[in-house]
Amino acid sequence: MSAADKVKPAASPASEDPSAIAGNISYHAQYSPHFSPLAFGPEQAFYATAESVRDHLLQRWNDTYLHFHKTDPKQTYYLSMEYLQGRALTNAVGNLAITGAYADALKKFGYELEAIAGQERDAALGNGGLGRLASCFLDSMATLNLPSWGYGLRYRYGLFKQRIAKEGQEEIAEDWLDKFSPWEIVRHDVVYPIRFFGHVEISPDGKRKWAGGEVLNALAYDVPIPGYKTKNAISLRLWDATATAEDFNLFQFNDGQYESAAQLHSRAQQICAVLYPGDATEEGKLLRLKQQYFLCSASLQDIIFRFKERKADRVSGKWSEFPSKVAVQMNDTHPTLAIPELMRLLMDVEGLGWDEAWAVTNKTVAYTNHTVLPEALEKWSQAVMRKLLPRHMEIIEEIDKRFREMVISTRKDMEGKIESMRVLDNNPEKPVVRMANLCVVAGHTVNGVAELHSNILKQELFADYVSIWPNKFQNKTNGITPRRWLRFCNPELSEIVTKWLKTDQWTSNLDLLTGLRKFADDEKLHAEWAAAKLASKKRLAKHVLDVTGVTIDPNSLFDIQIKRIHEYKRQLMNILGAVYRYKKLKEMSAADRQKVTPRTVMVGGKAFATYTNAKRIVKLVNDVGAVVNNDADVNKYLKVVFIPNYNVSVAEVLIPGSELSQHISTAGMEASGTSNMKFSLNGCVIIGTLDGANVEIREEVGQDNFFLFGAKADQVAGLRKDRENGLFKPDPRFEEAKQFIRSGAFGTYDYTPLLDSLEGNTGFGRGDYFLVGYDFPSYIDAQARVDEAYKDKKKWIKMSILNTAGSGKFSSDRTIDQYAKEIWGISACPVP
């Protein structure tokens, strides 16, 4: 009998009876000594409740691990530098179907579950869409009972907190671990060494091996991810960097050299200190590359460990079996180092030859692209790569060499294309490794995230590779989890949907929403729908008042744009539209104003700390708001509000309360967008361009229920050329809006550089690269159609219902099912 067999399974503290739950919450308040046992304010109540819920999670999580271990299915490992998890309590009790029991239990202490859940800090280990997608995917993987795990980094400080000061956006470190996270389980038994720097040693028999340099440890923290109404709970394994006692130089410390004594400890701390360290400096770039390697190396060592562990009882156990047990998905190019790291581990540690290691690697890894913006395609200096990861650089060079040889020997016709397709760009001025090219060359599958984007990948960015590997490229249109993004964040609307569909099965089979179409004209449904929307609008208005001090009218049209601030997303067009609207309102007679549809324009989003124009846009929205909202002539008809510190939990309040949402990127530039799906699901109508997933949303909800405007993706290049040739004639309305800002109507801040970016025919920071001027007139016209449509309440509510009804396709369950079948080759493994 092994020692482990002697450990008796403990009686489970996980109960579904409110009295027992209340007892368990009290237990955690007293015996999990984070606070004084006498304190039981809302914050203490949150931690004790979360720990009690964790007891439920742990049981499922253990059962799931053991079941996967016994069954030994092929398993997917999702590698992502980002997860935007947001809060976990409401989601956990909802997925475990114990919301009512916990609400009742908390009432015994005089607390509302919703208020206690509001105590939780967002886990913001991501920047935006890419990170939130990873979190939605985990929810769907667990719900579909798929054998799958997420791997990421445990950043000490996640995405910064945004404060709006006089000068505009300020960034403050977001201390999500301020007290502690009740959801993570530190795994002292899961530790791997990670090497940096050093050199390559060659043994007499020619074998190459990486040695020297500095070695840190990766320590695992597991976050259980419960599926919805299933016994399965999977793992999000987040790595933290640590140094050991041996790395602490006691001699130096006793000699008073405190900093050098703990040098390795401080380097370890830097690795997971922040999400996306600024990479303007060389140090910043090196740190970001260290982070990427840290994630890849720790995860692959862990994956190989598990493969061997599970293989132990099997008769055969050849490395060629690895791809039938392991699928690795790289979320964008950030985890590309998984490729050379897997090659290194297979060759240098496990003793495989190149060809064998390459075949295994190729069949194991796949890559998702999330952007076609050239400046966002990762390239690493060869010198930095060689210094930090000398053995990996050798492997990358060999991959590059073999790829070139393959093209030359098999595709004479492609010879002229080789330089741009290569992994290495050996431009003597700046030799770099092109990470996307490495992913395409090494991976078995490459996918885009919406139809339009995948087509652009195939026809433009990766066109040359398509002619070599026509079957490598796929589309997987993004999705969102309907649990967090409707069921839990919008309980009023959810209840109505369940009532009219006569089933709550839509939460795991979102296509059922089409069943609402036949009630789209039903007056009773309209009344209920409108009441639910109004309740959500009131909740939103309260949030706005709390965080900005601005009172907004729940009877006005709530128009929202929330996303990272970027010139291609064109928040500037939105605010120019609002400025134009304001100016027209000012010019109108009081009688005419009364005929106008009152609007509240809300914009939220964070600007990257060093992205100057994005920060100017934030400032402009705030400045416009300050003038408009205090202008007694018009503020009954227009308010402009900047929502500070946009994050997942703020989105959960804004999206249900929104009626019109803006997805107005220059066509061809937004790979997919996912908040567009969330809005539409919550009965919000979209004004947007034919970009990313907008195209598919419009198809699903019907073109009458979508306000379309703007240039199409295939026109953009021609329009830019025309402009360079001086053929662009700006619309007077566009000129008027810009001129109004230049006149100082919104204060003394110098908006010249921002507005100048929209002028001229070409040039750095000029030439209106994102075509705001070209699209502005059709945008204003589309907004006028919105105003008219909103006056007809019946029509508007019907559009709203049809948006929800047409959202079934955009469940991340559908997306993940397609990944599982068409890329990973894995199937469900439900805990019995």
Instruction: Tell me the Ramachandran region of residue 405: left when phi exceeds 0, alpha when psi lies from -120 to 50, beta otherwise.
Output: alpha
DSSP helix/strand/coil, 218:
strand
- The question of whether 209 is a catalytic residue gets the answer no
Token output for 420: 């741009």
Task: Report the run of H or E that residue 475 belongs to, with start and end.
Answer: strand 473-475
Closer residue to ligand NBX (CB): 550 or 690: 690
Closer residue to ligand NBX (CB): 185 or 273: 273
The Cα-based distances of 115 to 90, 183, 667, 725 in angstroms read: 11, 19, 41, 59
Place of tokens 């939605």: 136
Closer residue to ligand NBX (CB): 336 or 672: 672
CB of 64 to ligand NBX, least distance (A): 27
CB of 574 to ligand NBX, least distance (A): 17
| Stretch of 61-69, 180-188, 665-673, 709-717 contacting ligand NBX, by CB under 6 A | 665-673
Closer residue to ligand NBX (CB): 264 or 655: 655
Closer residue to ligand NBX (CB): 14 or 130: 130
Contact flag: residue 133 with ligand NBX (CB under 6 A): yes
Closer residue to ligand NBX (CB): 483 or 663: 663
φ/ψ of 159, rounded to 5, equals -60, 135
Q: Which of 479, 482, 673, 683 binds ligand NBX (CB under 6 A)?
A: 673
Please, how many CA atoms are within 13 Å of residue 25, restricted to the half-sphere of its CB? Answer: 30
Catalytic residue among 569, 570, 639, 738: 569
Q: Which of 39, 172, 376, 828 binds ligand NBX (CB under 6 A)?
A: 376
Residues 242-281 that bind ligand NBX (CB under 6 A): none
Contact flag: residue 130 with ligand NBX (CB under 6 A): yes
DSSP helix/strand/coil, 408:
helix
d(CA 449, CA 429): 34
d(CA 427, CA 431): 5
Contact flag: residue 138 with ligand NBX (CB under 6 A): no
The Cα-based distances of 806 to 483, 644, 663, 681, 803 in angstroms read: 17, 31, 17, 8, 5
Closer residue to ligand NBX (CB): 119 or 672: 672
Q: Which of 49, 672, 682, 705 binds ligand NBX (CB under 6 A)?
A: 672
Contacting residues for 206 by C-beta, under 8 A, at least 6 apart = none
Residues 505-534 that bind ligand NBX (CB under 6 A): none
Please, how many CA atoms are within 13 Å of residue 748, restricted to the half-sphere of its CB? Answer: 1
Contact flag: residue 335 with ligand NBX (CB under 6 A): no
- The question of whether 738 is a catalytic residue gets the answer no
CB atoms within 10 A of CB 511: 13
Residue with the shortest CB distance to ligand NBX: 129
Contact flag: residue 670 with ligand NBX (CB under 6 A): yes
Instruction: Write the secondary structure of 33-88 as one string of H (helix), E (strand) and C (coil).
Output: CCCCCCCCCHHHHHHHHHHHHHHHHHHHHHHHHHHHHHHCCCEEEEECCCEEEECC
Contact flag: residue 299 with ligand NBX (CB under 6 A): no
d(CA 70, CA 77): 18
| Stretch of 59-67, 127-135, 266-274, 640-648 contacting ligand NBX, by CB under 6 A | 127-135
| Stretch of 379-387, 507-515, 671-679, 807-815 contacting ligand NBX, by CB under 6 A | 671-679
Q: Which of 449, 562, 617, 634 binds ligand NBX (CB under 6 A)?
A: 449
| Stretch of 159-167, 303-311, 599-607, 664-672 contacting ligand NBX, by CB under 6 A | 664-672
**Do the Cβ atoms of 452 and 406 come closer than 8 Å?**
no
Token output for 825: 């080759």
- The question of whether 569 is a catalytic residue gets the answer yes
Q: Which amino acid is at 314?
A: R
Q: Which of 128, 625, 683, 688 binds ligand NBX (CB under 6 A)?
A: 128
Closer residue to ligand NBX (CB): 672 or 689: 672
- The question of whether 674 is a catalytic residue gets the answer yes
Catalytic residue among 290, 370, 458, 698: 370
Token output for 147: 């054998």
Closer residue to ligand NBX (CB): 380 or 790: 380
Contact flag: residue 129 with ligand NBX (CB under 6 A): yes
CB of 691 to ligand NBX, least distance (A): 9
Q: Judged by CB under 6 A, how many residues of this single chain contact ligand NBX?
A: 16
d(CA 203, CA 200): 10
Catalytic residue among 392, 458, 619, 678: 678
Q: Which of 48, 142, 603, 671 binds ligand NBX (CB under 6 A)?
A: 671
Query: Which ranges in 503-611 belong to alpha helices (H)?
Result: 523-548, 571-587, 590-593
Q: Which of 127, 140, 382, 548 binds ligand NBX (CB under 6 A)?
A: 127
Closer residue to ligand NBX (CB): 148 or 478: 478
Closer residue to ligand NBX (CB): 668 or 673: 673
**Do the Cβ atoms of 198 and 210 come closer than 8 Å?**
yes
CB of 415 to ligand NBX, least distance (A): 32
| Stretch of 125-133, 173-181, 240-248, 522-530 contacting ligand NBX, by CB under 6 A | 125-133
Catalytic residue among 368, 674, 689, 804: 674
| Stretch of 124-132, 227-235, 512-520, 554-562 contacting ligand NBX, by CB under 6 A | 124-132
Catalytic residue among 209, 363, 402, 564: 564
DSSP, residue by residue, 290-302: HHHHHHHHHHHHH
CB of 692 to ligand NBX, least distance (A): 5
DSSP helix/strand/coil, 108:
coil
Closest by alpha carbon to 541, among 551, 533, 549, 531? 551
Q: For the window 336-375, what string marks contact with ligand NBX as x by the rule CB under 6 A?
A: ----------------------------------xx----
Q: What is the DSSP letter of 469?
A: -
Residues 674-703 that bind ligand NBX (CB under 6 A): 674, 692
Closest by alpha carbon to 767, among 717, 734, 723? 723
Closer residue to ligand NBX (CB): 480 or 585: 480
End-to-end CA distance of the chain: 26
Residues 462-491 that bind ligand NBX (CB under 6 A): 478
CB of 332 to ligand NBX, least distance (A): 7
Closest by alpha carbon to 618, among 174, 172, 162, 276? 162
Token output for 553: 């009218």
Q: Per-residue b/e over 99-120, b at no fewer than 16 CB within 10 Å?
A: bebbbebbeebebebeebbebb
Kindly report the length of the chain. 832
Residues found near ligand NBX in the complex (CB under 6 A):
127-130, 133, 370-371, 376, 449, 478, 670-674, 692
Active site residues: 370, 563-564, 569, 674, 678
